[in-house]
Structure 1
Amino acid sequence: MLVRIAHLATRHPRTILAAAALLAVLCGIFGASVTSHMKTGGFTSSDAESTRTSRLIADNFGGAEPNLILLVSSEEGADSPAARAVGARLVENLRARGDVIGVQSYWNVPQPLAAALRSKDSKSALVLGYITGEETAAQKVAGEIAEQLTGTTDGVTVDQGGLSSVYHDVNEQITHDLAVAEGVAIPLSFIVLVLVFGSLVAALLPLAVGIFAILTTLAILRTLTVFTDVSIFALNMTTALGLALAIDYSLFIVSRYREELANGLDVEAAVVRAVQTAGRTVLYSALTVALSVAALGVFNLYFLKSFAYAGVAVVAAAAAASILILPAVLMVLGQRVNAADLRKPLGRLLGRAPRADLAPEQTFWYRTVSRVMRHAAPVAIAIIVLLLAIGSPFLSVKFGYPDDRVLNANATATSREVGDALRNDFSANAATNTTIVLDGYHGNPAALGDYAAGLSKVPGVAGVLSGVGVYSGGAKVSVGPPTMLNDTGAFLTVATTVDPFTSAGKTQLAQLRAVPSPAPALFGGAAATNVDALGALGSRLPLAGALIVLATFIVLFLFTGSVLLPLKALALNTLSLTAAFGAMVWIFQEGHLSSLLGSSATGYLVPTMPILMFCLAFGMSMDYEVFLLSRIREEWLASGRTAADNVRAVAIGVARTGRIFTAAALLMAIVMAAMVTSKVSFIQMMGLGLTLTVLADATLIRGLLAPALMRLMGTANWWAPAPLARLHAKIGLSEESAVSDSDEPALAGRR
């Protein structure tokens, strides 16, 4: 199959390149508007109880669950004439809009509700409202309102917060951060590629493949937005993963092509051989990465599903471009792939003689790996202990739903400033109330009052607002708004002083659920959303993990014909990920580097990110495993297959690939690390976590631990039960078999 693809590229290179250029232009034009069709939510399931509760409140109770919060601040106080006038103007403007309902403010609600909407120092007060429509439309409306109503007038400052505003600010920040990350990653990657290849021409090829993969994926995502919800956060992975994998795959193929040219093959034969060998590695790597990322599709959250869509699309595009378009480019360039070699003039400028090509046995990697394998047991034990120690903080991991604190404190986002004010300056956070709907309730109002009184006795509850009264500490303190009790049922708001995303918030929610209700109660609000989100993830996590493990094992078995090597690869990947997750807990949950990164330690991690990182990193780690095993296996199959041959095959395989996969890891790390420049904390976490995983995997894991374990396992590395061995002989891809007669002319150019 790969030889046929190579022949297609070598016989019709200009036709393929023209078609690719046209496709890239069309995809770029069509995909340019993708951001305006993507969404910023997707952290909860559409059929979760909290989601259904929010819909009922929006439909039946005038949007009494606010997603828009305006913070009005004045040094003269919230009761000053200027602040009162601004508050009245805001209420009037919001009520005049057809897309905002349920507007109320400190200045037009009775006590004790008014007290809850005024800050502790009496200098700030709130205006609340509910923006109708789905979350994408709501966040756009929030942006319009922010432009029209926020700012400072007569010494009174208006800032905007609330969930819709958070989504709007995150959307704006992600778009900006994406441009910054690309501006950092692409130039740095190009510099490293020049250092790796020497040739300016060769260094441009991986970037060209990466840009093609990104443009193609943007068009695919734009198409998907017509049929389903796609998260805007998937764009970060599209650019980062597309560029990283395209660089990796191109690096493998171009390096093998140049190696075959140096071995004496003519241009066409070198292209065919590069696709036949390195192309096989690319194919298996792409299959492994795609299957790992596709496992995200089992979660009933479009945030994670979007990463599955984007991941599979960008991997397929990068692999297709690498095994079809890149060979066509190489065929056109021929020996000119080595043109514009900058190492020679730089060497002359620095007074250094050109370095002669070394035999594998003379390289740093061969000497290092040979030394490691002479002390295989202590090296393996030391590295395993080190990685487990780094991963130990993950034992204390806690998870919570993201709020405005995902925006860094130094981000230019007022929703973060309003969120901080609500948490620190008010007796209760209006953005994190627990909401309860008794759908269809038409019972005795007194029973509803008893229920509200019982809820108000739960520790950490500041008060309960219902259609029959406002309750605090088990007693009725005032009359409640009648709009909370109508023909559709009843609605209650529980104001809480507890952070809903912590274990205390979960405990309080359980206590609220335990209060006897006069009718079946549906719970919504921040705490319920948090519990529902964690439950949805936890219920599907075992299935996703099992699919990744099974798919990876099958692909690596087909690649190697071994049963033990896939098991070893799975164990090593898990080990490197454990270390990365431990570092993420230490940095982002416990906040040890928060001042450097600008992030805020909330005491928990956003739960979707470790899952996303696991799937991505698992696939990317297999990228290097496949590349390394490909050359080791090539040497093993050409040997006498003794224990000594196994040791030599490992050393030669690492010697031939060590420089390439460490360069690939450095390049991928640059691309991933560029995401750390983001001002959205969980994007930072993904970028830093993947960077650490890739670097550890390419150095400690593949360069030291994997060779040590392969030395200890000896010839058992290549063992498989007889039935599986026969199965692999039938269906496993293999480049060591003889080339068919029709392919002999292509390989006859060896001089």
Structure 2
Amino acid sequence: MRTLGRLVSHHPWAVLIVWLLAAALSIPFAARAPAALNADPAGGLTQSEATRVTDLLRDRFGERDTNTVVIVTRSTPPLGTPQGDAAYQAFLNGLEKVPGVTRVTPPQDSGPYRTRAEDGTLALTLAQIPLLDGASDTLRLVRAYTARAQTPALNIRVTGGQAIADDFTHFAESDTKRSEFTALPLIALLLLVVFGALVATGLPLIVGMLSISVAMAALYGLTHLMPVSTFAQSVITMLGLGAGIDYALLTVNRFREELKRTPDARLAADRTVQTAGRSVAFSGLTVAIAMAGLILPPIAFVRSIGIGGVLAVLLTVLASLTVLPALLALLGERVNSPRILRFTWAQSGAASAGWTAFARRVTARPWLAVTASTALLLLLASPVLTLRTGYAGAWGLTPGVESRDALQDVRDLGAGGLLSQFEVILDPGHRYGPTDRARFQQTVTDLRALPGVRGVLSPFLTPADLAGSVGGGSGEGGSAGQLAALSALTSRSFSADRALLRVTVIPEDTLRAADIPAFETQLRRTLNASGYTYLLGGAPIGGEEFSRAITDSLPTVVLAVFAGTFLLLMVAFRSLLIPLKSILMNALTVGAATGIVTLIVQHGILAAPLGIPADVGVLDSSLPVLLFAVMFGLSMDYEIFLLSRVQEEYLRSGDNDEAIVLAVGHTARIITSAAIIMFIVFTAFIFGRVVASKSIGLGLAVAVALDATLVRLILVPAFLKLAGKWNWWLPAWLDRRLPHIRLEH
């Protein structure tokens, strides 16, 4: 830090020019990043069963357009009338000409796959588009066409798996932008209250925006190497603003203290880097370790969030250790001008008499403080025992989003199962022949008889299937329609070499994440009894596999983060108890915040006032591991701010109890000021339209509120008081082998 402090304080203009060039080069790429992100729930599971089914359908069955866009039309006058039929036919003719649309299936008014209401007002049109490359581009063209095709006689809305995923991406991006613009004025106002001066107020915002711009540009580069989650953008924004403001508050506060000791601004900036800079570096490193835990699961989608988080934290730390001190070295006393507000409780670098007295009261009754705080946190964490995860699909969006609202019309027609189809690939072990017919047909019959199954697409049509076929009915035209339907189903049911068989199982309704495991279990039980070797795929299986992969990775992430954090804190504080205590108390904070998110998002309690739909039913699969990494890392910010001051006071006086009291007196204002600002940053995300992003914002806001009050100002001081001299115990043999680093702020 000495070298960095001298470099930054003696060459501030060079440092600023480098950062300005980096920002200027980053902005064009950062602007492209949001459009390159995606919300595929199974992104990165290249070896999963659902992915293998998709690959087989493409390579062996020639299916390259299994991506279905569901278009809901309301006709006034209804279909079946000359005017209604004419308006719909004009729409249909144009839809077939949209580039990328390979097939269009008009609505059917009978049979098991009914897609038209009896009164003709409501109908579904199915448009097939590419599964992977060009899917989003084709969907944009379809949506542009339907917008143009809207008339008073025909209301059109678009839904389907691709539409839902693209809406996730679109609204996650727009929500992030809106959250930034909403939070920034409030943050600026609070910073003005804290610093009292316009110049000092602008410094944290500069650091945050610089780090976010460069991190988003790096994220755009990452999109060319792997699928990158939509949530990566939200994480970068939250960490860039939240952590950047945290570190700036600590740094500027220390710089003001140093200016009182010396009139030389460059010397004060140098000393600030060597003291507060160490705490910033270690704090950032703990957050980076937590985010790096997300890189461990073998899921590219999750790794992208981890990489984005690590980038955001490291760049924020780098900006806090270079840009901010360079600006301070140039500004000197001007950092305190123009002085607008004077609130000594927030702007003074001295210890707070109020918080010092509060710390004395807490440490006077340490057992009460520890017991009551721990009991409350465990109570708040208890809903985690009922936590369920999965891909919420359209229910992960708020009402008012077209793809979610249109889904209700699909369900009203009894066609909700079209969005939850299961694809089954059967391997008879040899080329299919006439002797295999009975066995294949029996398997289809068994699947069709399962509870909750609306129908099974196979070569073996029932009378109801034929009645509902295109052109179905009596007479010569009806026979032709039946033959066409039979030919199409036969073609889709056999691979080109007739070595693999395929059936599609359609549930009675759209399956929510909580319902998929039971439905999957009965399918597998039937397929196991068939004697075939099989693969089971489709969107529901892809979502379940992703959820299971995330859940299975959580213990690895938690243990890795705990181990890395323990080692780092052991080196920093020369203690075995302090890192163990920090991990346990941060885990309590994470558990309590996750419990509250579970109660609100999954169970719907108090969901309405926060604009969260009460029918989500599950937490997004990636939320538990994501919330753990981000919340645990940010909680360590305040832990290091407080403990570094406790250690500094203890090394100075040797009095553990007094060190605790003085440390709380010196840091409480910084911690509470930073927490209020971070709370605003995170709360801004609650008012978006993507439930997962709202859940992240809610969890982090709750975690910050709990951590900066109950945990950091009551539970931690009380525990440190009870532990006494054991806080600083480290075996001599280990002390000799660890590097010596001293934290100050």
TM-score by length of structure 2 reads 0.90
Q: CA–CA distance in 1 between the matches of 2:396 and 2:533? A: 34
Cα 1:513–1:359 change in 2 (3 A) is closer
Q: Of 388, 392, 400, which residue of structure 1 is paired with 2:378?
A: 388
Q: CA–CA distance in 2 between the matches of 1:681 and 1:377? A: 40
Per the alignment, residue 450 of structure 1 pairs with 442
1:184 is displaced (CA, Å) by 1.0
Per the alignment, residue 745 of structure 1 pairs with none
Would the aligned equivalents of 2:627 and 2:699 in 1 still touch at CA under 8 Å?
Answer: yes
Q: CA–CA distance in 1 between the matches of 2:606 and 2:531? A: 49
1:54 is displaced (CA, Å) by 2.7
Q: Secondary structure at the match of 2:283?
A: helix
Cα 1:723–1:78 change in 2 (3 A) is farther
Structure 1 residue 407 corresponds to structure 2 residue 397 = yes
Cα 1:78–1:567 change in 2 (3 A) is farther
Would the aligned equivalents of 2:104 and 2:125 in 1 still touch at CA under 8 Å?
Answer: yes
1:569-580 alignment runs, 5 A limit: 569-580=582-593
Deviations 1:35-94, CA, capped at 9 Å, x for gaps: 233333254412211122233334525457443111122355454445544554555444
1:355 is displaced (CA, Å) by 10
Per the alignment, residue 476 of structure 2 pairs with none
Per the alignment, residue 49 of structure 1 pairs with 49
Deviations 1:275-304, CA, capped at 9 Å, x for gaps: 111111111111111111111112233332
Per the alignment, residue 21 of structure 1 pairs with 20
Structure 1 residue 30 corresponds to structure 2 residue 67 = no
Counterpart of 2:2, as a letter, is V
Q: CA–CA distance in 2 between the matches of 1:231 and 1:449? A: 42
Cα 1:732–1:422 change in 2 (3 A) is farther
Per the alignment, residue 69 of structure 2 pairs with 68
Q: CA–CA distance in 2 between the matches of 1:217 and 1:368? A: 40
**RMSD (CA atoms):** 2.6
Structure 1 residue 369 corresponds to structure 2 residue 369 = no
Counterpart of 1:483, as a letter, is S
1:472 is displaced (CA, Å) by 8.6
Q: CA–CA distance in 2 between the matches of 1:406 and 1:81? A: 40
1:232 is displaced (CA, Å) by 3.1
Per the alignment, residue 266 of structure 1 pairs with 264
Counterpart of 1:468, as a letter, is F
Q: Secondary structure at the match of 1:33?
A: helix
Q: Secondary structure at the match of 2:659?
A: helix
Q: CA–CA distance in 2 between the matches of 1:310 and 1:520? A: 41
Would the aligned equivalents of 2:208 and 2:240 in 1 still touch at CA under 8 Å?
Answer: yes
1:659 is displaced (CA, Å) by 0.2
Per the alignment, residue 636 of structure 2 pairs with 622
Q: CA–CA distance in 1 between the matches of 2:355 and 2:225? A: 50
Q: Of 670, 675, 679, which residue of structure 2 is paired with 1:669?
A: 679
Q: CA–CA distance in 2 between the matches of 1:596 and 1:120? A: 38
Q: CA–CA distance in 2 between the matches of 1:343 and 1:222? A: 41
Per the alignment, residue 429 of structure 1 pairs with 417
Per the alignment, residue 479 of structure 2 pairs with none
Cα 1:120–1:195 change in 2 (3 A) is farther
Deviations 1:432-491, CA, capped at 9 Å, x for gaps: 122212258625233221111001121111221212325999xx9997522222344322
Q: Of 311, 336, 339, which residue of structure 1 is paired with 2:334?
A: 336
Counterpart of 1:700, as a letter, is L
Would the aligned equivalents of 1:448 and 1:468 in 2 still touch at CA under 8 Å?
Answer: no
Cα 1:206–1:486 change in 2 (3 A) is same
Q: CA–CA distance in 1 between the matches of 2:220 and 2:186? A: 29
Q: Secondary structure at the match of 1:32?
A: helix
Deviations 1:496-534, CA, capped at 9 Å, x for gaps: 135533443211211111113353222122331232112
Q: Of 539, 548, 567, which residue of structure 1 is paired with 2:580?
A: 567
Q: Secondary structure at the match of 2:653?
A: coil
Segments of 5+ residues of structure 1 without an aligned counterpart are: 348-352, 737-751
Counterpart of 1:434, as a letter, is F
Per the alignment, residue 320 of structure 1 pairs with 318
Q: Percent identity?
A: 31
Would the aligned equivalents of 1:42 and 1:302 in 2 still touch at CA under 8 Å?
Answer: no
1:735 is displaced (CA, Å) by 5.3
Per the alignment, residue 564 of structure 2 pairs with 551
**Which shows bigger deviation, 22-31 or 78-87?**
78-87
Q: Of 378, 382, 392, which residue of structure 1 is paired with 2:368?
A: 378
Structure 1 residue 648 corresponds to structure 2 residue 636 = no
Q: Secondary structure at the match of 1:500?
A: coil
Per the alignment, residue 182 of structure 1 pairs with 180
1:216 is displaced (CA, Å) by 0.9
1:375 is displaced (CA, Å) by 0.6
1:687 is displaced (CA, Å) by 0.5
Would the aligned equivalents of 1:452 and 1:471 in 2 still touch at CA under 8 Å?
Answer: no
1:710-721 alignment runs, 5 A limit: 710-721=720-731
Counterpart of 1:34, as a letter, is A
Q: CA–CA distance in 2 between the matches of 1:94 and 1:104? A: 11
Q: CA–CA distance in 1 between the matches of 2:524 and 2:303? A: 31
Would the aligned equivalents of 2:417 and 2:506 in 1 still touch at CA under 8 Å?
Answer: yes
Deviations 1:385-418, CA, capped at 9 Å, x for gaps: 11111122221111121311222103xx321112
Per the alignment, residue 739 of structure 1 pairs with none
Would the aligned equivalents of 1:631 and 1:657 in 2 still touch at CA under 8 Å?
Answer: yes
Counterpart of 1:23, as a letter, is A
Per the alignment, residue 542 of structure 1 pairs with 555
**Which shows bigger deviation, 15-24 or 325-334?**
15-24
Q: CA–CA distance in 2 between the matches of 1:503 and 1:210? A: 39
TM-score by length of structure 1 reads 0.90
Per the alignment, residue 734 of structure 2 pairs with 724
Structure 1 residue 512 corresponds to structure 2 residue 523 = yes
1:636-715 alignment runs, 5 A limit: 636-640=650-654, 645-715=655-725
Would the aligned equivalents of 1:120 and 1:427 in 2 still touch at CA under 8 Å?
Answer: no
Counterpart of 1:143, as a letter, is R
Q: CA–CA distance in 2 between the matches of 1:99 and 1:355? A: 60
Cα 1:472–1:301 change in 2 (3 A) is farther
Would the aligned equivalents of 1:281 and 1:627 in 2 still touch at CA under 8 Å?
Answer: yes
Q: CA–CA distance in 1 between the matches of 2:56 and 2:136? A: 20
Would the aligned equivalents of 2:415 and 2:509 in 1 still touch at CA under 8 Å?
Answer: no
Per the alignment, residue 236 of structure 2 pairs with 238
Cα 1:340–1:76 change in 2 (3 A) is same
Cα 1:366–1:714 change in 2 (3 A) is same
Q: CA–CA distance in 2 between the matches of 1:450 and 1:354? A: 79
Counterpart of 2:223, as a letter, is T
**Which shows bigger deviation, 667-676 or 55-64?**
55-64
Counterpart of 2:623, as a letter, is M
Would the aligned equivalents of 2:269 and 2:325 in 1 still touch at CA under 8 Å?
Answer: yes
1:354 is displaced (CA, Å) by 10
Deviations 1:350-376, CA, capped at 9 Å, x for gaps: xxx99996963x611111111001011
